[in-house]
Amino acid sequence: MIYIGNDHGGLELKNEVLQYIKNDLKLDITDMGCYDNSSVDYPDYAEAVCAKVLENKATGILICGTGIGISIAANKINGIRCALCHESYSAEMTKRHNDANVLALGGRVTGPELAKSIVKAFLISEFEGGRHQKRVEKITKLEK
């Protein structure tokens, strides 16, 4: 399961990504808002999506204007490893090496076609474990 959330700055890109995941990738996704252009606070959406990610051992996608604020908010939550990605290679590697469970995107800085390729790379990649596992454990230890 994938959970997606956004603030007003990420609304248009969220709608593009949501349709891409549903229609092209044929994956289950739950839209957790926001749903219109009214000004909202991105930490609220980061918190809601991340709660579902942790509760269901799922994947999250968060989108604000730049992706910066929403990724910072997400990374304050224990158990979340959120990566702001601007191209596909980073999206693949953060999943393979960091076991990232949330992807952040910037709705005002990332075009829809690029965003789709980033999302696909993130969703199809898997954590490699091995030598990367001890590093993820060290990151988790920092949360305490």
Residue 64 falls in the annotated catalytic set: yes
Residue 132 falls in the annotated catalytic set: no
Q: Single out the catalytic residue among 34, 64, 82, 85.
A: 64
Q: What would the DSSP string read from start to end of the chain? A: -EEEEE-GGGHHHHHHHHHIIIIIS---EEE----SSS---HHHHHHHHHHHHHHHT-EEEEEESSSHHHHHHHHTSTT--EEE-SSHHHHHHHHHHH---EEEEETTTS-HHHHHHHHHHHHH-----THHHHHHHHHHHHT-
Catalytic residues: 64, 97
